[in-house]
């Protein structure tokens, strides 16, 4: 690993910040240093591209202009504003943290990374980003960009997939952070990592800091960062039960014990949930349909005759799971009461008014393509 002298560190700061002042991205959350704006943008940018985030951020700020507005929001409005961004627990954690700021801190934000880390959902990177940008604390914000940029600049061989490596990078970067402009320094690293020093097809030869880049000089740019591969997401076969009655389509709200908590979907059932305890192989489609029809008739008091929808299953990947969803449909002549099933009947044209996860939009789109055009207006 390379070690920089105080002279090199000072030259790097000057070069980096001069480039950032000329070329830094003009993003809506950079118009000021309001901690609320910085925080919301950083949470949205987790696992999501900048260009995708911009309209969501602008809509979110129009809906919840202040931390007090977010703290007081009802769940449906919050989830609707977040719809499409994915990783939905982020939205709920945002509101919990907003409520902490309003109730526990009387509207005054903690001004250090250590204090910000006490808020729900704010981890090591986000706390340092807010503290440096909004409050000028001299701390490095170590995210994927910082891992990539500094591992290449200094040829750091440590595996960034290991939790302890974050602390190593923090110790290495800490003395390099500009003490006068820590927020601009961290944002410059973000911009560098998303432009010249990308994970694939980097343009290191034109990078403003190429003279400081040890991996470029050694022709080893793509060897960094060192990262062991994550295990593949676990395959999770599901059935989506699309039941239509004169009152509309049956939807259910996901519980706090489930993924996508608070969002509305057609009833979803894992194929594993239909297997006998001693079964070693999947029962097959016909047997699963028979089990579902029996369950709905006896447990839910909603007799259905299910038919499979043609085409390939709907596929949707989360961090640790890959859902493959086969669609089953039933049309009822009369609308049964939902005394024993936690759902509600919703007219097709009103479904889009509910907070819906991306996977539900995919299911509706597939349903429309398989012989039910323009039912929901998603295609």
Question: Could you tell me the CATH number of the domain that includes residue 47?
Answer: 1.10.340.30
| pLDDT tens digits, one per residue of 323-371 | 999 999 999 999 999 999 999 999 999 999 999 999 999 999 999 998 8
Residue 251 domain flag: yes
Structural domain range at position 79: 6-223
Q: Which helix (H) or strand (E) holds 200?
A: none
Shortest CA distance to 260 belongs to which of 251, 248, 249?
A: 251
C-alpha neighbours within 13 Å on the C-beta side of residue 183: 19
Token pair recorded at residue 67: 């931390």
CATH code of 296's domain: 3.90.79.10
Please check whether residue 211 lies inside any domain of the structure.
yes
Please tell me whether residues 36 and 81 are part of one structural domain.
Answer: yes
Give the pairing of strands 234-245 and 321-331. parallel
pLDDT, tens digit, 9 for 90 and up, residues 167-206: 999 999 999 999 999 999 999 999 999 999 999 999 999 9
Same domain, 171 and 249: no
Number of CB atoms found within 10 A of residue 354's CB: 18
Burial class from Cβ neighbours inside 10 Å (0-12, 13-18, 19+) for residue 243 reads buried
The owner of tokens 């509910």 is 354
Residue 179 located in a structural domain: yes
- Tell me: do 255 and 361 sit in the same domain: yes
| Residues 189, 247 share a domain | no
pTM of the model: 0.86
The sign one gets for the Cα dihedral 126, 128, 131, 133 is: negative
Domain stop point among 195, 223, 251: 223
- Residue 1 belongs to a domain: no
Q: Note whether 238 and 195 are same-domain residues.
A: no
60 within a domain of the structure (yes/no) = yes
**Count of domains for the chain:** 2
Q: Which residues are tagged catalytic? A: 42
**Is residue 228 assigned to a domain?**
no
pLDDT of 277 above 80:
no
Residue 278 has pLDDT above 90, yes or no: no
């Amino acid at each position: 690993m390379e070690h920089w002298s105080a002279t090199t560190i000072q030259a790097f700061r000057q070069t980096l910040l001069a480039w950032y002042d000329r070329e830094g991205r003009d993003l809506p959350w950079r118009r000021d240093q309001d901690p609320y704006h910085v925080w919301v943008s950083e949470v949205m940018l987790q696992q999501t591209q900048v260009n995708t985030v911009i309209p969501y951020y602008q809509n979110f700020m129009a809906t919840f202009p202040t931390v007090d507005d977010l703290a007081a929001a009802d769940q449906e409005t919050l989830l609707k504003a977040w719809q499409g961004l994915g990783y939905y627990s982020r939205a709920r954690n945002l509101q919990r943290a907003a409520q902490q700021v309003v109730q526990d801190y009387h509207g005054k934000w903690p001004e250090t990374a250590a204090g910000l880390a006490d808020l729900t959902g704010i981890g090591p990177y986000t706390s340092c980003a807010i503290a440096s940008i909004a409050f000028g604390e001299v701390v490095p914000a170590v995210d994927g960009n910082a891992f990539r940029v500094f591992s290449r600049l200094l040829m750091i061989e440590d595996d960034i997939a290991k939790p302890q490596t974050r602390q190593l990078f923090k110790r290495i970067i800490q003395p390099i952070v500009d003490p006068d402009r820590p927020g601009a320094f961290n944002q410059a690293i973000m911009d560098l990592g998303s432009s010249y020093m990308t994970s694939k097809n980097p343009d290191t030869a034109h990078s403003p800091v190429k003279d400081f880049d040890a991996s470029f000089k050694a022709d080893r740019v793509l060897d960094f960062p060192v990262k062991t591969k994550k295990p593949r997401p676990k395959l999770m076969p599901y059935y989506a039960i699309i039941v239509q009655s004169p009152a509309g389509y049956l939807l259910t709200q996901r519980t706090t014990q489930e993924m996508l908590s608070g969002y509305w979907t057609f009833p979803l059932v894992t194929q594993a949930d239909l297997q006998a305890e001693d079964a070693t192989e999947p029962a097959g489609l016909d047997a699963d349909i028979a089990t579902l029809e029996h369950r709905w008739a006896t447990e839910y008091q909603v007799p259905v005759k299910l038919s499979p929808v043609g085409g390939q299953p709907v596929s949707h990947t989360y961090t640790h799971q890959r859902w493959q969803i086969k669609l089953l449909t039933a049309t009822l002549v009369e609308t049964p009461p939902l005394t024993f099933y936690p759902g509600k009947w919703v007219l097709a044209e009103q479904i889009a008014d509910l907070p819906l996860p991306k996977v539900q939009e995919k299911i509706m789109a597939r349903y429309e393509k398989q012989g039910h055009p323009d039912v929901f207006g998603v295609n």
